[in-house]
């Protein structure tokens, strides 16, 4: 169905190719998963399938990409629109119309299909993807998961035989991700569509993949193989695979279900080590003033309540994770802690002061927020200039930011444009900028979006070091594995209200949606991460 | 009559709103103008969709209020005395010889002040009508209804329109990011430092959108020759120009009716020609083209009735605002015509995004 013959792609202005001598053959009806570190060329590979690379992106492609018998060299993306449907990373950026139904029909209008055919296909897709309640809604009013499903539906109405998706679940909460993946499953099983998708959150998708395409980056050869084969050695692997490697299971489990069937002997070995849990969180001095004290805060946008009577406190050394659905009020809560949103009632005290009344150095020396898109914070054209500006803003000695950046991400070249950094490097730079002012309270909004496992483990280290140094960290995230690794406490928001507040173990274990993979495999024993299990096994031996 | 929720054809809303606007432009009677604004506001409240552009009516009202204020302030400062009862006097400035004819300050008379206010209200009412059309008729549905020949121009306009709210969102986000860096978010510097990243973001977004449109087959069926496309485009532009001048004539009583009518007829003929040429080229199909049925006829014909009533009664003194502070005359025909225009609030279908929830 899709054939890459000795494909080498080089972008203009760069010497090394992104993808070198790739030979792939993806069969009809397969679900192929593209994995690899950030910036390794996954998106380039996906876009080469429908000719966006190089027709739209520029650069040179040598070799041949043949899709359903059509060579992309002679067929621009629009001539492949009836064969390949591409869902972009941010579905909102690809929407052409305002309303769900119009969006579903747009591709067919471009192909010039008859109105009666269009009516029928729109109805079919609405049923197939479960969109009947939102068919008349404005696209801007949809939640993340709904947008993703509409984006998939919008390309599926032209009946393409190949569907290409770029990180379809990375911005979604666990529940919405399940919805999207269930929809994809239906397309693969019922319609026999060939699906190629790239994803960092392997724990969500790896069990659905027939084959995995591993893009190691730096021009190293692209590998393709069955999921179990590739996972045995791949540089990126979800917790369940790591656990399987640790326990020496064969065949390697890819899903929680497979792993659980193998897990009895491991549980037996771990029984004696049962109580040696890593003690999470520093001992709390109840008399010391709270670092963050939020009391019955409500925030409203127009008539819509974003936060409703939220009370939460944070002490130094804590890492608090805020979880909840898309739109539950996580970002609003973080914004309120730096005085970005007007409270309709309640009080916020950060180190004894109200952030809404603070500005400039006074604010940033007490609390720092890394926003969802870290590049919002960055405005200069080199890393060096950005660091220099940051020292000046924070009234810190020259070189402070650069030193912090080196400790977070040693490989960043200071002459680079922030835009050219990888996702993880950009996050490190934004975090360094925030830390330059030495705020005791550090907030991060969705920090692991688009990060691979390696970058994520570096972030985990950095956050632990911060907490050990007496900082408090609050992060809003959908990433249950990150929460299991790093958080000492979790609060869950739903429609702006706190519905759960407790230690990580208590909160996420109680929820079937939020429990991490290791927990699900080893329940009823209480293990959160592979690292914990590894430590315990070391003790047993 | 309003049954299933659906979109009213956007051209019907525009015809209705322009009819009201013609009425507003032909009168300075505050009673009539008040009725026009009230009718527009009522229909908008009843039938506006739940999208971003659906909320634009309020902005037009605010703009109208500013227009009234500016008109009155400037008029008082530079206006010429009209005779009549002097309300108050401003200190006047003796201007040098070369500025003869320009007056600054001086007496403000009752008729002058009233005529300034009514004139301002008239402009505000016209703005309210345009605002009503803007929030009732979706720009992208207008694009759907545009003839194929103008499609590409239309896409550019609609993309620009959908970007406007996004740009506002981006600017907000970047302003809060400045706060997070401990910098000032207000003033010229604050604005300037946000403007460039916002523009960069908008450019990047349009590239993403272009890539998405390309991979979904945009431009695939446009196998029209360049010459034909240019002919169609030029004919349409000329037709629009004639229509604009003709419409302007309808608003200004000094332009002879015959010239106005011939321009309008000419523009209609040109549009017809362009339609015929364009329909020969098969360009793209349209999903659920908005039909033109009873509610559209009703809405558009009420607008037309309103415009006709305005033109036929424009000469009557009842359409002029009072020159002293007194109750204005009641021009019955005009009021009835405006009252007709409130009926679409019930006679048109509910927009789908408000209908089913």
Q: Name the residue among A86, A106, A110 with its Cβ closest to that of B220.
A: A110
- pLDDT score of A484: 92
Rg for chain A (alpha carbons), in Å?
24
By percentage, how much of chain B surpasses pLDDT 90?
Answer: 24
Q: Which of A98, A113, A44, A48 is nearest to A76 (CA)?
A: A48
Contact residues, chain B, for A158 at CB < 8 Å: 216-217
For residues A74, A80, A84, A89, the Cα torsion angle rounded to the nearest 10 degrees is 90
Residue A472 has pLDDT above 70, yes or no: yes
Residue A18 has pLDDT above 50, yes or no: yes
Residue A405 has pLDDT above 80, yes or no: yes
Contact residues, chain B, for A97 at CB < 8 Å: 140
Does residue B211 sit at the A interface (CB-CB below 8 Å)? yes
Residue A96 has pLDDT above 50, yes or no: yes
Does residue B231 sit at the A interface (CB-CB below 8 Å)? no
Residue B311 has pLDDT above 80, yes or no: yes
Query: From the CA of B216, how many Å to the nearest CA of chain A?
Result: 5
Task: Give the architecture-level CATH label for domain A2-236.
Answer: 3-Layer(aba) Sandwich (3.40)
CB atoms within 10 A of CB A125: 22
- pLDDT score of A286: 58
Q: Which of A175, A173, A236 is nearest to A446 (CA)?
A: A173
Using an 8 Å Cβ cutoff, are A324 and A493 in contact? yes
Q: Is A312 helix (H, G, I), strand (E, B) or coil?
A: strand
Residue with tokens 């299909």: A113
**Band (B175; pLDDT cuts 50, 70, 90):** confident
Q: Is A248 helix (H, G, I), strand (E, B) or coil?
A: coil
Q: CB pairs under 8 A, 24+ apart, for B232-236?
A: B232/B149, B232/B150, B232/B274, B232/B277, B232/B278, B233/B149, B233/B150, B233/B153, B235/B270, B235/B271, B235/B273, B235/B274, B235/B277, B236/B147, B236/B149, B236/B150, B236/B270, B236/B271, B236/B274
**Dihedral pair phi/psi, residue B37, rounded to 5°:** -65, -40
Q: Which of A99, A140, A107 is nearest to B5 (CA)?
A: A99
**Band (B356; pLDDT cuts 50, 70, 90):** very low
**Band (A281; pLDDT cuts 50, 70, 90):** very low
Cβ separation of B212 and A93 shorter than 8 Å? yes
Cβ separation of B209 and A94 shorter than 8 Å? yes
- pLDDT score of A536: 84
**Which ipTM value was assigned to this complex?**
0.84
Mean pLDDT of A341-351: 92
A2-236 matches A292-524 in fold: yes
Cβ separation of B288 and A101 shorter than 8 Å? yes
Q: What is the pLDDT of residues A296-317, one digit of tens each?
A: 999 998 778 899 999 999 999 9
Q: Is A541 helix (H, G, I), strand (E, B) or coil?
A: coil
Cβ separation of B182 and A105 shorter than 8 Å? no
| Per-residue H/E/C for A23-60 | EEEECCCCEEEEECCCCCCHHHHHHHHCCHHHHCCCCE
Q: What is the pLDDT of residues A231-271, one digit of tens each?
A: 988 888 899 999 999 998 888 999 999 999 989 888 888 88
Residue with tokens 């950026």: A93
Which chain A residue is nearest to residue B177, measuring alpha carbons?
Answer: A377
Does residue B58 sit at the A interface (CB-CB below 8 Å)? no
Residue A488 has pLDDT above 60, yes or no: yes
Residue with tokens 């025909």: B333
pLDDT, greater one: A160 or A145: A160
Residue A541 has pLDDT above 60, yes or no: no
DSSP code string of A210-221: SEEEE--STTPP
Query: From the CA of B114, how many Å to the nearest CA of chain A?
Result: 38
What are the residue boundaries of the structural domains of chain A, listed by start? Answer: 2-236, 292-524
Q: What is the mean pLDDT of chain A?
A: 89
The CA-atom distances, in angstroms, between A427 and each of A395, A419, A423, A451 are: 22, 11, 6, 9
Indicate the range of A27-31, A125-129, A268-272, B224-228 predicted with least confidence: B224-228
Mean pLDDT of A112-138: 91
**Band (B357; pLDDT cuts 50, 70, 90):** very low
Token pair in block for residue B346:
């019930």
| Per-residue H/E/C for chain B | CCCCCCCCCHHHHHHHHHHHHHHHHCCCCHHHHHHHHHHHHHHHHHHCCCCHHHHHHHHHHHHHHHHHHHHHHHHHHHCCCCCCCEEEEEEEECCCHHHCCCCEEEEEEHHHHHHHHHHHHHHHHHHHHHHHHHHHCCHHHHHHHCCHHHHHHHHHHHHHHHHHHHHHHHHHHHHHHHHHCCCCCCHHHHHHHHHHHHHHHHHHHHHHHHHHHHHCCCCCCCCCCHHHHHHHHHHHHHHHHHHHHHHHHHHCCCCCHHHHHHHHHHHHHHHHHHHHHHHHCCCCCCCCCCCCCHHHHHHHHHHHHHHHHHHHHCCCHHHCCCCCCCCCCCCHHHHHHHHHCCCHHHHCCCCHHHHCC
Q: Which of A163, A172, A196 is nearest to A84 (CA)?
A: A163
For A253-385, where are the E strands, in sequence order?
292-301, 304-314, 319-324, 345-350, 367-370
What are the residue boundaries of the structural domains of chain B, listed by start? Answer: 10-141+290-355, 223-282
Q: Which of A300, A280, A227 is nearest to A34 (CA)?
A: A227
Mutate to test the interface with A, among B217, B283, B357 (most CBs of A within 10 A): B217
Q: Name the residue among A111, A136, A155 with its Cβ closest to that of B220.
A: A111
**Any bridge partners for residue A300, and if so which?**
A305
**Dihedral pair phi/psi, residue A281, rounded to 5°:** 90, 145
Rg for chain B (alpha carbons), in Å?
24
Contact residues, chain A, for B211 at CB < 8 Å: 52, 56, 77, 88, 94
DSSP code string of A332-343: HHHHHHTT-S--
Strand-strand pairing, A319-324 and A472-476: parallel
Indicate the range of A475-489, B207-221, B330-344 predicted with least confidence: B207-221
- pLDDT score of A364: 92
Cβ separation of A140 and B50 shorter than 8 Å? no
Q: What is the pLDDT of residues A458-469, one digit of tens each?
A: 899 999 999 999
How many angstroms separate the first and last alpha carbons of chain B?
21
Which chain A residue is nearest to residue B170, measuring alpha carbons?
Answer: A376
Pick the CATH number of A292-524 from 3.40.50.300, 3.30.1330.30, 3.40.50.720, 3.40.50.700: 3.40.50.300
Q: Name the residue among A93, A138, A377 with its Cβ closest to that of B181.
A: A377
Q: What is the distance between the alpha carbons of residues A490 and A504, in angstroms, rounded to a whole number? A: 5
Q: What is the pTM of this model?
A: 0.81
Cβ separation of A112 and B285 shorter than 8 Å? yes
Mean pLDDT of A451-464: 89
Q: Which of B85, B73, B71, B80 is nearest to B120 (CA)?
A: B71
By percentage, how much of chain B surpasses pLDDT 70?
Answer: 83
Mutate to test the interface with A, among B55, B198, B201, B287 (most CBs of A within 10 A): B287
CB atoms within 10 A of CB A183: 20
């Amino acid at each position: 169905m899709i054939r890459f013959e000795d494909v080498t792609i080089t972008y203009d202005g760069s010497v090394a190719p992104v993808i070198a001598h790739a030979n792939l053959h993806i069969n009809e009806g397969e679900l192929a998963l593209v994995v690899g570190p950030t910036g390794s060329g996954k998106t380039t590979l996906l876009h080469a399938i429908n000719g966006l690379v190089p027709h739209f992106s520029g650069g040179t492609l040598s070799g041949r990409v043949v899709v359903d018998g059509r060579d992309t060299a002679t067929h621009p993306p629009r001539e492949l629109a009836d064969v390949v449907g591409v869902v972009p990373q941010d579905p909102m950026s690809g929407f052409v119309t305002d309303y769900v139904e119009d969006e579903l029909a747009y591709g067919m209008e471009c192909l010039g299909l008859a109105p009666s055919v269009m009516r029928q296909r729109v109805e079919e897709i609405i049923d197939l993807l479960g969109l009947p309640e939102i068919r008349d809604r404005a696209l801007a009013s949809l939640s993340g998961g709904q947008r993703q499903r509409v984006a998939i539906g919008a390309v599926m109405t032209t009946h393409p035989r190949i569907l290409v998706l770029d990180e379809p679940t990375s911005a979604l909460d666990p529940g919405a991700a399940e919805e999207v993946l269930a929809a994809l499953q239906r397309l693969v099983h019922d319609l026999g569509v060939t699906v190629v998708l790239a994803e960092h959150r392997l724990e969500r998708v790896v069990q659905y993949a027939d084959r995995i395409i591993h893009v190691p980056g730096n021009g190293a050869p692209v590998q393709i193989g069955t999921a179990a084969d590739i996972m045995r050695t791949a540089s990126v692997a979800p917790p369940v695979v790591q656990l399987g490697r640790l326990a020496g299971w064969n065949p390697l489990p890819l899903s929680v279900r497979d792993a659980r069937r193998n897990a009895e002997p491991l549980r037996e070995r771990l029984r004696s080590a049962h109580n040696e849990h890593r003690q999470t969180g520093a001992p709390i001095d109840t008399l010391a003033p709270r670092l963050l004290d939020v009391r019955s805060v409500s925030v409203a946008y127009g008539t819509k309540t974003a936060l409703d009577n939220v009370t939460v406190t944070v002490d130094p050394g804590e890492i608090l994770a805020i979880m909840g659905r898309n739109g539950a009020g996580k970002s609003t809560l973080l914004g309120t802690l730096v005085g970005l949103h007007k409270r309709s009632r309640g009080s916020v005290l950060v180190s004894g002061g109200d952030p809404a009344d603070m500005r400039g150095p006074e604010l940033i020396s007490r609390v720092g927020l890394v926003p969802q898109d870290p590049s919002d914070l960055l405005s200069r054209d080199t890393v060096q200039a950005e660091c220099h500006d940051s020292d000046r803003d924070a009234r810190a000695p020259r070189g402070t930011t650069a030193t912090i950046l080196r400790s977070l991400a040693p490989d960043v070249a200071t002459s680079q444009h922030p835009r050219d950094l990888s996702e993880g490097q950009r996050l490190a730079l934004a975090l360094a900028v925030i830390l330059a002012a030495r705020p005791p309270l550090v907030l991060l909004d969705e920090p692991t979006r688009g990060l691979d496992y390696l970058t994520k483990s570096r972030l985990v280290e950095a956050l632990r070091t911060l907490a050990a140094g007496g900082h408090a960290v609050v992060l809003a995230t959908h990433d249950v594995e990150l929460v299991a690794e790093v958080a000492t406490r979790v609060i869950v928001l739903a429609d702006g209200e706190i519905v759960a507040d407790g230690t990580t173990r208590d909160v996420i274990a109680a929820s079937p949606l939020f429990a991490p993979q290791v927990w699900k495999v080893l329940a009823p024993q209480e293990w959160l991460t592979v690292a914990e299990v590894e430590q315990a096994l070391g003790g047993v031996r | 009559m309003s049954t299933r929720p659906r979109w009213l054809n956007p051209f019907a809303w525009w015809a209705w709103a322009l009819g009201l606007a013609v009425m507003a432009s032909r009168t300075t009677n505050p009673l009539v103008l008040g009725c026009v604004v009230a009718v527009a506001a009522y229909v908008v409240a009843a039938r506006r969709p739940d999208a971003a552009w659906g909320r634009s009516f309020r902005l037009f009202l605010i703009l109208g209020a500013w227009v009234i204020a500016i008109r009155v302030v400037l008029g008082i400062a530079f206006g010429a005395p009209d005779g009549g009862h002097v309300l108050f006097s401003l200190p006047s400035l003796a201007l040098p010889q070369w500025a003869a004819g320009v007056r600054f300050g001086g007496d403000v008379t009752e008729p002058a002040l009233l005529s300034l206010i009514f004139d301002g209200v008239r402009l505000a009412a016209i703005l309210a009508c345009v605002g009503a059309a803007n929030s009732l008729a979706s720009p992208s549905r207008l694009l759907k209804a545009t003839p194929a020949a103008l499609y590409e121009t239309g896409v550019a306009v609609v993309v620009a329109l959908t970007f406007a709210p996004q740009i506002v969102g981006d600017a907000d986000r970047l302003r809060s990011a400045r706060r997070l860096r401990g910098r000032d978010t207000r003033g010229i510097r604050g604005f300037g430092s946000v403007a460039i990243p916002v523009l960069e973001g908008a450019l990047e977004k349009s590239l993403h959108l272009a890539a998405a449109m390309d991979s979904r087959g945009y431009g695939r069926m446009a196998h029209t020759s360049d010459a034909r496309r240019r002919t169609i485009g030029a004919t349409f532009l000329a037709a629009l120009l004639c229509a604009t001048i003709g419409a302007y004539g309808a608003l200004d009583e000094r332009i002879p009716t015959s010239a106005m009518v011939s321009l309008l007829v000419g523009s209609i003929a040109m549009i017809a020609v362009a339609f015929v040429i364009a329909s020969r080229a098969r360009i793209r199909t349209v999903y659920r083209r908005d039909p033109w049925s009873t509610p559209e006829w009703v809405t558009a014909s009420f607008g037309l009735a309103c415009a006709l009533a305005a033109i036929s009664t424009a000469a009557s003194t009842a359409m002029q605002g009072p020159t002293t502070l007194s109750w204005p005359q009641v021009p019955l025909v005009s009021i009835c015509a405006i009252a007709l225009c409130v009926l679409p609030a019930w006679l048109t279908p509910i927009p789908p995004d408000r209908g089913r929830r």
